[in-house]
Amino acid sequence: DGGITQSPKYLFRKEGQNVTLSCEQNLNHDAMYWYRQDPGQGLRLIYYSQIVNDFQKGDIAEGYSVSREKKESFPLTVTSAQKNPTAFYLCASRPESTVRGGYTFGSGTRLTVV
Amino acid sequence: AQTVTQSQPEMSVQEAETVTLSCTYDTSESDYYLFWYKQPPSRQMILVIRQEAYKQQNATENRFSVNFQKAAKSFSLKISDSQLGDAAMYFCAYRMHTGANSKLTFGKGITLSVRP
């Protein structure tokens, strides 16, 4: 079945370390997105990519980095510059070729700084 | 910039009753999409309903319907015959119509509880 796989489901990071969250999709979707979810804050856009080898900053990109070397993959790195990285991270994808194309979400990664 | 506002952080409804969740948004665009997403305790995002701004008719999906007031920039979700499985967090979201800027903007969400 087609879908989005996020891994790991839970991730623990020591302060000062970089960590990378994986997002893989086999839906042949063009666009991919990373959202951060905090209690009472809804979902906020970190980065998005509409095509391979191109990506744009979202509303809260500071302290994060991404790459889009393959259509299927859009990993998110949480760097040591991110001051408060503990949150729930959601990856999503969408086909750009159809205007009405809906979003598919992964099941998320819970990142905790210890 | 587009913004989405959900002013009620929590709501409660009796099983089998009807509940309405409110959402307002701000945009200068005339063509866009509006969505309601459900996030149960599993935290998987599930699309509940979608409304295209150029359509005057309100969208419906079984027990879920919307009241779309374009001039007032209001987009409320009505859940009829509430079920225990409806208990979840609900997010209102906006997207521009054109594919060049297809990111979703979410409200802060509302937690809906269903009393048996």
B45 near A CB under 8 A: yes
Over 90: is that where the pLDDT of B30 sits? no
**pLDDT computed for residue A97 by the predictor:** 63
Is some CB atom of chain A closer than 8 A to the CB atom of B70? no
pLDDT tens-place string over residues B58-77:
999 999 999 999 999 999 99
CA distance B81 to chain A (A): 26
Q: Tell me whether residues A105 and B44 touch, CB distance under 8 A.
A: yes
pLDDT in tens, B73-115: 999 999 999 999 999 999 999 998 765 567 889 999 999 999 9
CA distance B82 to chain A (A): 23
pLDDT at A95: 81
The shortest C-alpha distance from A107 to chain B (Å) reads 5
From the list A33, A99, A102, the residue facing B97 with the nearest CB is: A99
Name the helix (H) or strand (E) containing A90.
strand A87-94
Q: Phi, psi (5° rounding) for residue A78?
A: -95, 115
